[in-house]
Amino acid sequence: MTPNAKPDKDFPYWLLVIIAVGLFLFYKIWADPLYSGVLQTLSAGIVTTLLVTLVSYSGACVLGLGLAVAGMSRFIVLRQAARFYIEIMRGIPIIVLLLYVAFVGAPAMVAAINWVSGPLGFDPVRARDFPLLYRAIFALILAYSAFLAEIFRAGLQAVDKGQIEAAQALGLTGWQRFRHIVFPQAFRMILPPLGNDFVAMVKDSSLVAVLGVGDVAQLGKVTAAGNFRYFETYNVVALIYLTMTITLSLLMRRLEVHLRGKDQR
- Provide DSSP, 174-227: HHHHIIIIIHHHHHHHHHHHHHHHHHHHHHHGGGGGGGT--SHHHHHHHHHHHH
- Over residues 183-199, mean pLDDT: 88
Of the candidates 94, 51, 40, which has an alpha carbon nearest to the alpha carbon of residue 220? 40
CA distance 218 to 64: 28
Residue 35 has pLDDT above 80, yes or no: yes
What is d(CA 265, CA 263) in angstroms, rounded to the nearest whole number?
6
User: 9 or 158: whose pLDDT is higher?
Assistant: 158
CATH architecture, domain 41-264: Orthogonal Bundle (1.10)
3-state secondary structure of 44: helix
Judge whether residue 6 has pLDDT over 70: no
Q: How far apart are CA 68 and CA 81, in angstroms?
A: 11
User: To the nearest whole number, what is the mean pLDDT of the chain?
Assistant: 87
Calculate mean pLDDT across residues 204-231. 91
Whether 224 contacts 233, CB under 8 Å = yes
Residue 122 burial by CB count (10 A; 0-12/13-18/19+): exposed, middle or buried?
exposed
Residue 65 reports pLDDT greater than 90: yes
State mean pLDDT over 29-37.
Answer: 89
pLDDT band at 1 (very low <50, low <70, confident <90, very high): very low
* For residues 172-178, average pLDDT: 80
pLDDT band at 76 (very low <50, low <70, confident <90, very high): very high
CB atoms within 10 A of CB 93: 10
CA–CA dist 140, 98 (Å, integer): 7
- Give CA angle at 27 (25, 33), nearest 5°: 100
Q: Which residue has the higher pLDDT, 145 or 183?
A: 145
Lowest mean pLDDT: which of 106-110, 144-148, 194-198?
106-110
Whether the predicted pLDDT of 2 surpasses 60? no
**pTM score:** 0.86
pLDDT at 86: 95
